[in-house]
Amino acid sequence: MDLNYSPEDRAFRAKTRDWLAANAPQEDLKTLAERKAWHRKLYEAGYVGMLWPREYGGWGATPMQQAIVQDEMARVGAPPPINGLGIGFIGPTIIVHGTPAQKERYLRKILPAEEIWCQLYSEPNAGSDLASLKTRAEDQGDHFVVNGQKIWTSSGPIADWGILLARTDPKVAKHRGISCFLISMRQPGVEVRPLKQITGHSLFSEVFFTGARVEKHDLVGNLNEGWAIAQTTLGYERGANSLGRVTRYAIAFTQLVKAARELRRGGRPLIEDPAVRARMGKLYAELEVQRYAGLRVLSALNRGQAPGAASSITKLSYTEFEKRYYETALEILGPWGQLMSAREEFEEVDSSSGEPGTWATAFLWSRAGTIYSGSSEVQKNIIGERVLGLPKEVRADRLKA
Ligand SMILES: Cc1cc2nc3c(=O)[nH]c(=O)nc-3n(C[C@H](O)[C@H](O)[C@H](O)COP(=O)(O)OP(=O)(O)OC[C@H]3O[C@@H](n4cnc5c(N)ncnc54)[C@H](O)[C@@H]3O)c2cc1C
């Protein structure tokens, strides 16, 4: 592992820092239109879709450069780009599995956020066990007709297009009868109902399909081979690069230190309480572990190594850390945690910008990371089976007494 930044990387960081100092918005962006305008600016500067190939509007940058941009943006609290699902994993899935016509039609509108995308995979009875999904797509000759329900659809209310998994052959084993489609969210047979979260926001939704239409040319890959495509999407979704997150935690940590200096309990500053100091010391040590774990993954990515199943280790580690982190912060702050800002709040127009405001909402939001893109238990199964080579999960009902 090489933890040193090259002279080129250092120069790139300085350039990015200057650009952000001159261009990052000074005030909260309240509307989707404002977020789109900022996104466009970032895109034109080469800071969106950095790893995408140039032929699809990307910048062909290195993972290190991308991490530097995320790091610098977190440092100044710049609003992140929108269309995170489209850019992060739906576009890359189309690059791998799409037809030339699909690439031509869809990819170039994803990066500038001209079209916003959502992911239509989970259903009320098909989350971890995604292959049990029941939404049907029936072949009508020149098109498919879709009926069924999806749930937890992030960005559903603002999405123009969705990547959809639907059952196309109910007679074969469940993994084999699923196909993957690109579907317009702007049509009469698609109803999006926002869901209210514990944080009070509505970042995701239920989606009901009643006779919705998918064109034949919007089938991705072969009929009944959608399962493999879903694995590609999930691989990108789990991601591997956590450095931008670590910077955000580190910034929140300095705010926590500041609060612990200012707030008094029992007549003295919180920071003088030995129990508080011990908790904060442990938190800081864990934060540094996360930073070096992030750098180690980045170093491998920069050498061209694919993270593979190891991305489950990264995801499990930082999402569980995030929960412990905000839990500890709330314990330290007590009732102040309900009022004090952990970081700047952005208008909740898109799930990829769904950053929490107070320490209390940050704590609530931290639960989400251990559920989406496969829960922590599911990540542990993957690590056990694919990284450690342990025997496959044994279901209790199949064990002999
Ligand atoms: C913030 C957020 C955004 C999301 N966005 C999207 C989206 O845009 N599109 C989309 O399609 N989905 C989305 N999801 C849904 C997400 O993928 C599912 O919530 C997730 O896969 C878990 O499924 P489930 O909620 O049905 O829980 P279940 O699968 O019912 O799991 C319930 C519990 O059982 C455990 N469990 C299940 N199976 C096993 C097993 N084999 N071994 C051990 N434990 C197990 C789980 O860990 C969990 O604790 C989102 C979820 C969240 C929280």
Q: Assign residue 120 the CATH number of its domain.
A: 2.40.110.10
Residues 268 and 382 in one domain: yes
For ligand 1, atom 26, name the residue with the nearest CA. Answer: 127
pLDDT at 347 over 50: no
- What is the pLDDT averaged over residues 205-222? 97
For ligand 1, atom 18, name the residue with the nearest CA. Answer: 127
Residues 285 and 376 in one domain: yes
In a domain, 110, yes or no: no
Our count of domains for the chain comes to 3
Number of the ligand 1 atom closest to the C-alpha atom of 150: 11
Q: What is the pLDDT of residues 165-205, one digit of tens each?
A: 999 999 999 999 999 999 999 999 999 999 988 877 788 89
Average pLDDT for the chain: 87
Residues 122 and 198 in one domain: yes
| CATH at 293 | 1.20.140.10
Nearest residue to 97 (alpha-carbon basis) of 232, 234, 216, 236: 232
In a domain, 101, yes or no: no
Q: What pTM, to 2 d.p., does this model score?
A: 0.89
| CA atoms within a 13 Å half-sphere pointing along the CA-CB vector of 357 | 11
Structure confidence at residue 386 (pLDDT): 87
Residues 17 and 163 in one domain: no
Residues 204 and 300 in one domain: no
pLDDT at 225 over 60: yes
Residues 304 and 356 in one domain: yes
Ligand 1 geometric centre to CA of 347 (Å): 25
Please identify which of the residues 237, 322, 331, 393 carries the catalytic annotation.
237
Structure confidence at residue 345 (pLDDT): 39
Structure confidence at residue 186 (pLDDT): 97
Ligand 1 geometric centre to CA of 340 (Å): 30
Nearest residue to 2 (alpha-carbon basis) of 66, 70, 63, 79: 63
pLDDT at 136 over 90: yes
Domain that holds residue 352: 239-393
Residues 75 and 122 in one domain: no
Residues 179 and 283 in one domain: no
Annotation marks residue 237 as catalytic: yes
In a domain, 234, yes or no: no
Residue 350: which pLDDT band, with cuts at 50, 70 and 90? Answer: very low
- Say if strands 117-120 and 161-167 run parallel, antiparallel, or are unpaired: parallel
In the structure, which protein residues have their CB atom closer than 6 angstroms to any atom of ligand 1?
A: 118-119, 121-122, 127-128, 152-154, 204, 368, 371-372, 374-375, 377-378, 381, 393
| CATH at 65 | 1.10.540.10
Ligand 1 geometric centre to CA of 104 (Å): 33
Structure confidence at residue 204 (pLDDT): 86
CA-to-CA separations, 123 to 68, 149, 153, 189, 286, in angstroms, rounded: 36, 6, 9, 17, 35
Ligand 1 geometric centre to CA of 274 (Å): 39
Q: Where are the beta strands (DSSP E) in 95-142?
A: 117-120, 136-139
